[in-house]
Each structure stands twice: as structure tokens, then as C-alpha cells.
Chains A and B, each alone.
Chain A
Amino acid sequence: MATAAEQWVLVEMVQALYEAPAYHLILEGILILWIIRLLFSKTYKLQERSDLTVKEKEELIEEWQPEPLVPPISKDHPALNYNIVSGPPSHNIVVNGKKCVNFASFNFLGLLDNPRVKAAALASLKKYGVGTCGPRGFYGTFDVHLDLEDRLAKFMKTEEAIIYSYGFATIASAIPAYSKRGDIVFVDRAACFAIQKGLQASRSDIKLFKHNDMTDLERLLKEQEMEDQKNPRKARVTRRFIVAEGLYMNTGTICPLPELVKLKYKYKARIFLEESLSFGVLGEHGRGVTEHFGISIDDIDLISANMENSLASIGGFCCGRSFVIDHQRLSGQGYCFSASLPPLLAAAAMEALNIMEENPGIFSVLKEKCKRIHKALQGISGLKVVGESLSPAFHLQLKDSTGSREKDVKLLQEIVNHCMDRSIALTQARYLEKEEKCLPPPSIRVVVTVEQTDEELERAAHTIKEVAQAVLL
């Protein structure tokens, strides 16, 4: 029977155990223990191999030599020695002791030394002192701030405005307040540095389109749409933004806003506009690029501009619908965590706004002057004019680059210096060459203001022509 047979086997085994020699049993015991050990031990030990002794660590620490905090700068770095302006940087400016007509400051409307603006600022200074000693949340909100926000919103014909204490920080804080990691921002290649920093802070996906090229933008939007169809769940939470400038700081060109608005609705992407150059310049009343194209401001989700150009004060603002703008009051980092704008600067901006509203003719005067110098500067040997004829800030670039940026910059600087000697104050557009996403070619930036007389404009154009001829030929 099977069970009997099994019992026999068991008995035999026990018997064999008794009969086996001791050394055999010991060997087998050791083998069993070895198998168990192998089963429960790790295959290898990383620790043993990589652990450093205290002494080794100390040696490593001793050995490590950091790079210097900053690399040395050569004494003749083009940006090291600043021009020194004595006195106000207004229409007539004293640069390095030389008296010049100012073609370099963004004082488009000549409000920098306007007596009314100064009087308003002075009155505010006498009431509030200089600083605010706190952020907006903690007793840093002054009645002047509220009034200015109100006035700006009314001026732009929108619901709400929010002011920042620094022009650069305005768009750089506004973008990351909405656009977060995973969101997608379509942005023009020529976008200014503040936008670039805002985008970097937002950690969103950035898609660059060719400057003012709407077909390229549409191509990117379409690509994204295809992507979205593949993954509709992700698409439902991915915000899309288009960021553009009204007048581009780096090129002096105007954005094709009507096309942008069309694309906005077609592809459901919100538009953020940076209008630092176009606010107080374009449009019949200086409301900027929306007024210029006759587009309702409600079609633009957010407009940001600084108050440092046309308004000739300090700071910046964003405006739009309350639904959009109000969010920044808790999420705009440069708004929440920074001291508020000194009231005297807010008062100056407000008075400047008053002057703009009272003299709408000022904008057409500015446009006339832009056109005049634009025309006068055509056909200079070796230099080309880059930028729209209605832009009060445009660029003069070398027609033929020497091939090295350094040499180009030197040549242009020579032109600037000679013009300065002949009492025309100009400046090169400065960039951080390594930091810019798409570095614009070196250029001289010419700025037109309403204070420049026709005679001065002609003289400036004439001087630039002559100097360029002498330097470049």
C-alpha cells in the first residue's frame, strides 16, 4: 500500500540520519545555514563601497576650491563706466558735463519737468513724506494709490487697475500670478526682458513664435490643439496665454492686434499685452494699441504698462476686468511683498494723467514728430532705421555687420560719442547678451519727445547722418 511504502521511506530516512557520520551531518547543517543566509542577505552592499570616512570627507572639504563669486571685469567693459547726468534728464540734458538735446530718455510727452507735475508731487511730499514704510496690505495703501488706480481704470475704460512700485516688476509679476507650471505661453521672439523674466518665474511651457508672424503663431496654436485632442483631460486644465507687446521695445514695431484677437477666440488663449511704450503714445487719446486699432479693451485679458515713460514717474500698472486684476492683489508677488509706491510718485503720475486727458492733441503732435525724424533718417549710409514710423522709440542698426558683435558695438558707440560732442544725446540699446532669449542686434535707440522742436529734429538727423558717414566710411 502506498501509505505503508511512504512510512517505510520516512523510517529509512530517520535511520540514515542515525547512521550517517557526524562530519556529514555537520557539513549539511552548515550548507543549510548558508542557504538561509543567502536567502536573507542583500545581494550587494552599496553602503560599504561608497561610505567615506570622516578623514576622507575632511580632505574633500579641504580640497574644494570654489569659483570666485564674480568673474573679473575688464576696466574698459563698455557698460562699466556709466554716463553721468548732472541735473534733470529732461529735454536739455547735461551728460558728462556736455549740454545736449535729449534723444535718449523715454520722456515722450515731456512731462518729466512739467511744473504742474512737480507741484502735485510736492504737495504730496508735504502731506505724506517720501516713503510708505510698508507693503499695500500692512498700512502701505494710501488714498493716493486708490485714487490713481481708479483714474487709470477710468482712463483705460476698464473695470480695475492695480499699481506696482516698479515698472519692471509689473509684467514680471503679473504673468506668474496666472500662468503656472504646466500652462502654455505663446510669446513673441522679440519680447522684452521683463516678459522673459515673468515667463521664467512662471515655470510654464514657453513657445516662441517669429516676431509679429501670425502664421507662425497659428501654426503653434494648431500644433497645441492637436496635442490637446490627444489628451483632452490634460487640456482641460492647461491654460493658454499669448503674450505680446503693444510697441516692441526691442524692434520699435507694433503688434498686429486684430489678428491676435481673432486667434485668441479661435484657440481660446488669453492675451496679455505689455504696453510700456505704447501707453500714452498710440491712439487718439493715448490709450495705447487697443485704441489705435479700435479694439475693445474687454477683448484683451490684461494690459500692463509702466508709468516710467509717458507718465514720467516711477512704477507700473496692470488693468483689465476685476475678475482678472483682483487676483493679483493676493498673487502678484511684486505687489504683495514689496513696499508700495511712494505717494509723491503716484501723485505725479496722476497729474501727468490729468495733463494727458486735458491735451489730447499732444499725441498727434508726437506722431508728427516721429514721422518727421523717421523720414529724415532714411538713406543714411551704413545705418538702417528699424521700427515703425509712428513709434517714438526706434533703432538704428548697422546695415552691414562687421561680423563681430563687439566691433559693431564699438562702431555704434563711436557714433553716439561723436553725436554727444555735437550736443545730441543718444544711447545704445543695452542688453544682457548672455541672458536674452533672442538677442537683438546692436543698435542706437532714438527717442522722440514732444519737446523736441522741428529744427532740433532736423539737426539731430543731420548730425547722425554726418557722423555715421565719417565713422562708417
Chain B
Amino acid sequence: MRPGPGGCCCRRPLRANGCVANGEVRNGYVRSSAAAAAAAGQIHHVTQNGGLYKRPFNEAFEETPMLVAVLTYVGYGVLTLFGYLRDFLRHWRIEKCHHATERKEQQDFVSLYQDFENFYTRNLYMRIRDNWNRPICSVPGARVDIMERQSHDYNWSFKYTGNVIKGVINMGSYNYLGFARNTGACQEAAAKVLEEYGVGVCSTRQEIGNLDKHEELEKLVASFLGVEAAMAYGMGFATNSMNIPALVGKGCLILSDELNHASLVLGARLSGATIRIFKHNNMQSLEKLLKDAIVYGQPRTRRPWKKILILVEGIYSMEGSIVRLPEVIALKKKYKAYLYLDEAHSIGALGPSGRGVVDYFGLDPEDVDVMMGTFTKSFGASGGYIGGKKELIDYLRTHSHSAVYATSLSAPVVEQIVTSMKCIMGQDGTTLGKQCIQQLAENTRYFRRRLKEMGFIIYGNEDSPVVPLMLYMPAKIGAFGREMLKRNIGVVVVGFPATPIIESRARFCLSAAHTKEILDTALKEIDEVGDLLQLKYSRHRLVPLLDRPFDETTYEETED
């Protein structure tokens, strides 16, 4: 989960990472002299570890323009003022109250939830609520059908008109490899298993819910990841929150990236271990914490830590950044810490053979102690897994909360995973999986490059299929989502509390199912809406080079 509203514009001064391409250092997208100096430090750092990277690592987070930051704060200020005003009117019954209220019999109970949450929901979120939870009624593929809904009371309630908005371009689903389909090999296999097994299991793995299908899946996952053994769980979120407590406990230290997903945060909290946070993807920060932890031991008792576990994600889903895994592994080895890698978004979506971030950097899966990931995204199913050494998996089979207390994976869902994974591995005798992986990589580079050329501020790594486009101002969150839907494109917009308060953004998730034509349509509309809403904040225009092949990484800055 993200930190609270404490973040301000200078919270993240500049994260322009240099890149090392063929041994030569190139600059990121940096303009002002102060920023250039900061970047120089970064580049120095990267050069030091340059040997660790076998491929260029281009990641940029352009600084928020000062004027935009100020205007964003003003925007929130106005919204808050109006919020108070309307709360005042509601209190005196001048404005009609729409929200559900406590039962009469329980009016004198202590109120069920806190006031600030309420205030934010009531006065800010409610105004643009129509941008979330949009119900769909088709496969979440490249195009999707959205149920039309209307609100006659300013989003307090929705009515379904019965119309369906057909063929909306889907830039929101995590369908990275395009396996969310209702036809083809996966569906057929899943249907067959469904008819044989039914959907439920009605028991846990340790009791009598361990199907032969589960064993088959786990063997396949292990061979896919290149690890000794693996175990599968029914829910990705729970894979983190129910297994981290099995691995660490009191007297252990968890070092967690500040932008880690809520499930990792929850798992860490439930474990009872001490948690320390390092700056997002910042290796100096991680190293300092590691060093201090070993040198000074536990606070107060001064005993040495029992073990140290580093929690990182492969791709950060709100930032679009890729973990600096080679450096993390080097640090982990140097300081004898353990590494827990959450590949929820990266498995399938990164690497020449789709095996995630380890494959992307060409590293050895043995160097990651706990390989965690989900089946929800690239495999178009649901659930999660953990892979690693046999001892680790044996321990989890006996001690994982999920194996003892939670119902195991549904058989048809397992079959979907098995079939799609075999397809990615090429075990189905086709090159379909390989093509999907390649298509996704191409789409990612193309889409990111075009957006940058248009002058949007785009966060993250150039190879990350998660593409955040910065909107900043609260009013633009709603406007962007609505304008895009009007143009038949479904996008995800996010604001506080999922992001720092001023860094509201739109997020596109690319898919191998997107054709060039679909992407071009989407880009054209984004360009138009970008002009309409004045979203082209970037001060570093790139020269559009139309006939550039996608795999060449020559981003140059232009002087204007």
C-alpha cells in the first residue's frame, strides 16, 4: 500500500536513472542543472553496478512541474472547501443526503467508521465514482463490452440503462499475454475439466482437497520457473498475506519497498516481524538499512536479527517500474539476507521466454529465495504460487496458512493455468506463446514511445507493460476517464490513496491481444484528449522518429 497523504511534491525529487547501453552511459531525461547533478550521482551509481546489467535499464520519473504541483494543491484545497460547505448544507438539511445511514436503533453506538475517510469518499471520490467499478459483460480481452449506467443523483447510485457499450478498447485489464479468451485451447481444456470435476473442492489441501490436478500444476509451475518445487494457492493476495507469516516472525527483519502492494504489507504485518521501509527501487537506501540492521541488531535488546527478508515486486503496478533485481541480488548475497520476489505483474509479461523479471535480466532463479507470483494476470485465471527450494516448499506444505485453512484451487481454473503455461513454454507444439511474448514487448515499446513523443509525462521502465500517464489534478482524473470512455476506450485512472496525493494518473496495461490498429486508435484518442485537457506536461519533447525499429533504444533529448 502507498504511504498516506504525507507525500508532497518534493517527496520524490527526481528519479531519473541513467542507463547503461553496451557499456556506455547515457543520460536520462533531465533538464535543470540541479537535477542534472542529482542524476549524475545516479549515473555514477549505475556505472558502478553496470556490470550487473546485461541489458539497458531505462527508467524515468520526470519531475512534477512546479506550477502543476501548486495548481494541484489548489485544486484539492477548493474541493475540500466545497466539501465542508456541502457537509454544512447537508447538516442543516438544505442539501439532500444520499448516503446510507445508521439504523435508528443503533444511533447511539460508536460510529462505525472514521470521519475523514467519510469526508474524502463523500466529497471527492463520489464526484468521479463513475470511473471505477464499471461493470463489463464480456471477456476482458482487447475489446470489452461495458454496461451503460446512469446516475441521477450525482453518482450516489447508478441505474443500468440496459444498453451495452460494445467493443470498448480495453486498456485496463491485466491481460498481458492475451489469455483472457472464451475460445481456443484453454477454454476447451477448462470446459472438459469442469465437466469432470465440477467447480468447487469443498476442502483444504491438507485435509481432502488435494486433487491430482493440483499436483500436476505445481510440477509444471516449478519447471516453468526453473526451481526445485512450487506450491499453488487459491488467491494471489492471500499467497502473500498467508505465507509471509510462515517464513518470518518475531526477531526477524523485513525490508520492504515503500511501494509494495497491500498484500505484502499485510503479510509483513501479520508475521510479527519488524518492518523497515526503503525508498522505492533505491539500492543505496536498501544497502544502508541492511548494513545498519546487521551492525546494530535488534532495537533495545541489541540481539542480532534471526534473519532478514527483502520484499520486492517485479513490476510495480502503479509506477510501471521494474525492480533493480541484479543489484538486489548482489546486496542480498553480500549481506546474507533472503529475497522474496513478488512477480504478480511480471510473470509472463517480462523476459524473452515470459518467465518474469529473473528471465528479463538473465539471472539464475536459484538466487531468489522465494519466487511468488499470481495466475490472475498473464495466465488469465486466478490464484497465486510460491516457488523455490524443495525445503522451502515442504515447509510451506506443512505450515502455510492457506494449505491448512483455505479451500484449494478450483479444478477448471487450474486447467486454464496449466494450458496457458504450457502454451507459453511451447509445450503445446505451437509457437503461439512465443509470439504473444514478442507481441507484448513490441506493443510496450511502441506505445510508450508514442506517448512520450506526444509530450505526456510517462513513468516507469521502457519495457514495462504497465504505463502510467500523469494527470496530477483531481478534476482531470474524472475528465480523462470520461472523455476516454466517450471515445470508446476503457482506461484506469487512479488518485489518492492509491498514489501520492498530487500524483494522480491514468494507467494503461498493454496486452499481446492489442493489435497495431487498436493501439493506433487508442493513441490517436489519447492525443486528442491530451490536448483537450492539457495533459502534455513533459518539458522534454522527443523527436518523433517514425521508422525507427522498436528494439533500438536511442532516446535523445532535443533542445528547443
User: Residues on A close to B: CB < 8 A?
Assistant: 52, 57, 60-61, 64-73, 77, 79-80, 82-90, 93, 95, 102, 104-107, 111-114, 117-118, 121-122, 125-134, 136-143, 145-146, 165-169, 178, 180, 192-194, 197, 200-201, 235-240, 265, 268, 270, 298, 306, 308-309, 311-314, 321-324, 326-327, 329-331, 333-334, 336-339, 341-342, 344-345, 348, 425, 427-432, 435, 445
Are B235 and A131 in contact, with the CB atoms below 8 A?
Answer: no
B277 close to A (CB within 8 Å): no
Partner of B381, one of A112, A270, A342: A342
B54 close to A (CB within 8 Å): no
Are A105 and B235 in contact, with the CB atoms below 8 A?
Answer: no
Which residues of B lie under 8 Å from residue A139 when comparing CB positions?
A: 134, 136, 140, 144, 170, 172-173, 490, 492
B404 close to A (CB within 8 Å): yes
Are B182 and A128 in contact, with the CB atoms below 8 A?
Answer: yes
- Please name 13 pairs of A and B residues whose Cβ atoms are closer than 8 Å in the assembled complex, sorted by A: A73-B391, A85-B208, A89-B203, A114-B198, A118-B198, A122-B191, A132-B376, A138-B492, A140-B140, A141-B136, A146-B135, A308-B200, A431-B404
**Contacts A89-B201, A139-B492; A268 near B109 (Cβ below 8 A):** yes
Which residues of A lie under 8 Å from residue B381 when comparing CB positions?
A: 130-131, 342
B24 close to A (CB within 8 Å): no
Q: How far is the CA of A313 from the CA of B202 in the complex (A)?
A: 8
**Number of B residues whose C-beta is below 8 Å from A?**
121
Interface mask (B325-367 → A, CB under 8 Å = 1, otherwise 0):
0000000000111100000000000000000000000000000
B407 close to A (CB within 8 Å): yes
Nearest to A435 among chain B residues (CB) is B401
Are B305 and A79 in contact, with the CB atoms below 8 A?
Answer: no
Most A CB contacts (10 A, CB to CB) among B133, B195, B263, B413 go to B133
Query: Which of B55-63, B88-96, B112-120, B443-451 interfaces with chain A?
Result: B112-120
Q: How far is the CA of A431 from the CA of B406 in the complex (A)?
A: 11
**Contacts A139-B136, A139-B144; A134 near B238 (Cβ below 8 A):** no
Are A327 and B237 in contact, with the CB atoms below 8 A?
Answer: no
B405 close to A (CB within 8 Å): yes
Interface mask (B74-115 → A, CB under 8 Å = 1, otherwise 0):
000000000000000000000000001111011011111110
Separation in Å of the B379 CB from the closest CB of chain A?
A: 7
Are B394 and A73 in contact, with the CB atoms below 8 A?
Answer: yes
Are A314 and B338 in contact, with the CB atoms below 8 A?
Answer: no
Are A82 and B398 in contact, with the CB atoms below 8 A?
Answer: no
B215 close to A (CB within 8 Å): yes
Separation in Å of the B472 CB from the closest CB of chain A?
A: 20
**Contacts A122-B194, A168-B238; A131 near B208 (Cβ below 8 A):** no
Are B181 and A129 in contact, with the CB atoms below 8 A?
Answer: yes
Which residues of B lie under 8 Å from residue A114 when comparing CB positions?
A: 198
Which residues of B lie under 8 Å from residue A430 when comparing CB positions?
A: 204, 206-207, 404
Q: How far is the CA of A406 from the CA of B210 in the complex (A)?
A: 23
Q: How far is the CA of A241 from the CA of B257 in the complex (A)?
A: 34
Partner of A125, one of B194, B262, B407: B194
Partner of A314, one of B191, B199, B215, B308: B199
Are B103 and A321 in contact, with the CB atoms below 8 A?
Answer: yes
Interface mask (B263-306 → A, CB under 8 Å = 1, otherwise 0):
10010011000000000000000000001001100000000111
Which residues of A lie under 8 Å from residue B234 when comparing CB positions?
A: 166, 314
Are B112 and A129 in contact, with the CB atoms below 8 A?
Answer: no
19 more CB-based (< 8 A) A-B contacts, given A82-B397, A143-B135: A61-B335, A67-B306, A86-B211, A107-B200, A112-B198, A127-B182, A130-B413, A131-B179, A131-B381, A139-B134, A139-B172, A141-B133, A168-B402, A169-B237, A312-B199, A324-B112, A334-B235, A339-B382, A427-B203
The 3 A-B pairs of least Cβ separation, nearest first, read A166-B235, A70-B395, A312-B200
Separation in Å of the B514 CB from the closest CB of chain A?
A: 13
Are B201 and A331 in contact, with the CB atoms below 8 A?
Answer: no
Separation in Å of the A201 CB from the closest CB of chain B?
A: 6
Partner of A64, one of B105, B242, B294, B382: B294
Nearest to A348 among chain B residues (CB) is B199
**Contacts A121-B199, A338-B235; A70 near B405 (Cβ below 8 A):** no
Are A129 and B180 in contact, with the CB atoms below 8 A?
Answer: yes
Are B392 and A69 in contact, with the CB atoms below 8 A?
Answer: yes
Are A308 and B407 in contact, with the CB atoms below 8 A?
Answer: yes
Separation in Å of the B492 CB from the closest CB of chain A?
A: 5
Nearest to B493 among chain A residues (CB) is A138
Are A194 and B405 in contact, with the CB atoms below 8 A?
Answer: yes
Q: How far is the CA of A333 from the CA of B144 in the complex (A)?
A: 26
Q: How far is the CA of A324 from the CA of B112 in the complex (A)?
A: 8
Are A138 and B132 in contact, with the CB atoms below 8 A?
Answer: yes
Are B401 and A193 in contact, with the CB atoms below 8 A?
Answer: yes
Partner of B405, one of A82, A105, A168, A239: A168
Are B236 and A338 in contact, with the CB atoms below 8 A?
Answer: yes
- Residues in B214-259 with C-beta less than 8 Å from chain A: 215, 234-238, 242, 245, 247
Separation in Å of the A22 CB from the closest CB of chain B?
A: 53
Separation in Å of the B155 CB from the closest CB of chain A?
A: 13
Separation in Å of the A60 CB from the closest CB of chain B?
A: 5
Separation in Å of the A290 CB from the closest CB of chain B?
A: 16
Which residues of B lie under 8 Å from residue A268 when comparing CB positions?
A: 106, 108-110
Are B336 and A64 in contact, with the CB atoms below 8 A?
Answer: yes
Are A312 and B412 in contact, with the CB atoms below 8 A?
Answer: no
Are B407 and A167 in contact, with the CB atoms below 8 A?
Answer: yes
Which residues of B lie under 8 Å from residue A65 when comparing CB positions?
A: 336
Q: How far is the CA of A183 from the CA of B370 in the complex (A)?
A: 35
